[in-house]
């Protein structure tokens, strides 16, 4: 039986890898190995617990105040050892993290084929997002199988000279994960600590809730200041709307958020980062979402939630083009005016909320499996 090794290290990777791992195991075509680098320790474990996945190998690479250079060096060394000892027939990576690039490079050095899930995303700016855009491009150059989530991603790869026979348009596995999570929530609802009952996922309250997330490096400093001031402005002018902000633990996020938004209004709720299921529950409960997250741009359309993307560029233009998301950057006037329009104009809101998700139909895992089966001659 051919051996496929899944390598990932962060919570977003785990979310998008989980349905693929589960489908591979359900099909029984391959021997499946799961190797995690531990870029996000606790957050990673929370996701794996939700989907019932136990890693076969945990490299536990993260150290306090570790630079990207140190992480990269340690990751390549440890993954090289894993591949030499375990000898997989195929390595699958997902997305654009440091783990992705290091795993792909280590597999390449060991002459092991590489499959890249969520391939072909591009902003066209090597430094935005940083270092993710570089990780994507570098991984593309050495991968053997490219699983593009959308038509645009597939076209990006072909324009860059990747052979058409190596590119597979699959949809995004995040939709597969989201549908599994929604089914779990139907059976076992969750409760969010530090939120009143009328904002809980199971609440039938008609009070509008805006979900906010922000954590990207390129927004550190002035960008976060403007994001926080925008939320404060909206909260002051929409006292009947509640703003829920799970605040990332990074000090570069914590400091401006707590300084500008802490104890500022009764309708701003700063809460701790949420486990995956709890966050899915918050998305379901929300009216609109303000975010700089890539994954949320892909997930929210499945629930009919308009998204304001608080970034200057996005490698996920499909939602912008479809009309389910609007790129607002970190410009205070743009964030405030666009959010105000959606909160007060039902026609504008419905126009975005009723757009079908351009990122997939929940069957991406099946397509990835079948392409790998053909590639390995199983």
Active site residues: 96, 118, 132, 215, 217, 248
> Which residues touch 171 (CB under 8 Å, ≥6 apart)?
149, 150, 359, 360, 361, 362, 363, 364, 367
Q: What is the 3-state secondary structure (H, E, C) of the chain?
A: CCEEEEEECCHHHHHHHHHHHHHHHHHCCCEEEEEECCCCHHHHHHHHHHHCCCCCEECCCCCCCCCHHHHHHHHHHHHHHHHHHHCCCEEEEECCCHHHHHHHHHHHHCCCCEEEECCCCCCCCCCCCCCHHHHHHHHHHHCCEEEECCHHHHHHHHHCCCCHHHEEECCCHHHHHHHHHHHHHHHCCCCCCCCCHHHCCCCCCCCCEEEEECCCHHHCCHHHHHHHHHHHHHHHHCCCCEEEEECCCCHHHHHHHHHHHCCCCCCEEEECCCCHHHHHHHHHHCCEEEECCHHHHHHHHHHCCCEEECCCCCCCHHHHHHCCEEECCCCHHHHHHHHHHHHHCHHHHHHHHCCCCCCCCCCHHHHHHHHHHHHCCC
Between CA 19 and CA 360 the distance in angstroms is 14
């Amino acid at each position: 039986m051919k051996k496929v090794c899944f390598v990932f290290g962060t919570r977003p990777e785990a979310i998008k890898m989980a349905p693929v791992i589960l489908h591979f195991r359900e099909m029984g075509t391959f021997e499946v190995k799961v190797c995690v680098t531990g870029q996000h320790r606790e957050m990673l474990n929370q996701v794996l617990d939700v989907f019932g996945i136990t890693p076969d190998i945990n490299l536990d690479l993260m150290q306090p105040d570790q630079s990207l250079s140190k992480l990269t060096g340690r990751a390549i060394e440890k993954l090289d050892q894993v591949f030499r000892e375990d000898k997989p027939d195929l390595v699958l990576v997902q997305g654009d993290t440091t783990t992705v690039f290091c795993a792909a490079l280590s597999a390449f050095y060991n002459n092991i084929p590489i499959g890249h899930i969520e391939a072909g995303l591009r902003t066209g700016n090597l430094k935005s997002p940083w270092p993710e855009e570089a990780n994507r491009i570098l991984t593309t150059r050495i991968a053997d199988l490219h699983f593009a989530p959308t038509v645009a991603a597939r076209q990006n790869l072909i324009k860059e000279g990747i052979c058409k026979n190596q590119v597979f348009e699959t949809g995004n596995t995040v939709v597969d994960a989201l549908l599994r999570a929604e089914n779990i929530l139907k059976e076992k609802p969750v409760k969010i600590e530090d939120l009143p009952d009328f904002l809980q996922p199971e609440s039938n309250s008609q009070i509008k809730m805006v979900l906010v997330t922000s954590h990207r490096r390129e927004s550190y400093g002035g960008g976060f200041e403007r994001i926080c001031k925008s939320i404060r402005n909206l909260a002051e002018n929409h006292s009947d709307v509640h703003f829920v902000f799970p605040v990332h633990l990074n000090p570069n996020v914590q400091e401006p958020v707590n300084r500008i938004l802490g104890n500022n209004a009764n309708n701003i709720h700063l809460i701790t980062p949420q486990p995956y299921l709890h966050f899915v529950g918050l998305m379901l409960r929300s009216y609109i979402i303000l975010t700089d997250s890539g994954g949320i741009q892909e997930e929210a359309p499945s629930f009919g939630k308009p998204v304001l993307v608080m970034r200057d560029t996005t490698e996920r233009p499909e939602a912008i083009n479809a009309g389910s998301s609007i790129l607002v950057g970190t410009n205070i006037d743009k964030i405030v005016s666009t959010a105000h329009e959606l909160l007060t104009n039902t026609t504008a809101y419905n126009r975005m909320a009723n757009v079908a998700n351009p990122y997939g139909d929940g069957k991406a895992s099946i397509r990835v499996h079948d392409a790998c089966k053909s590639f390995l001659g199983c």
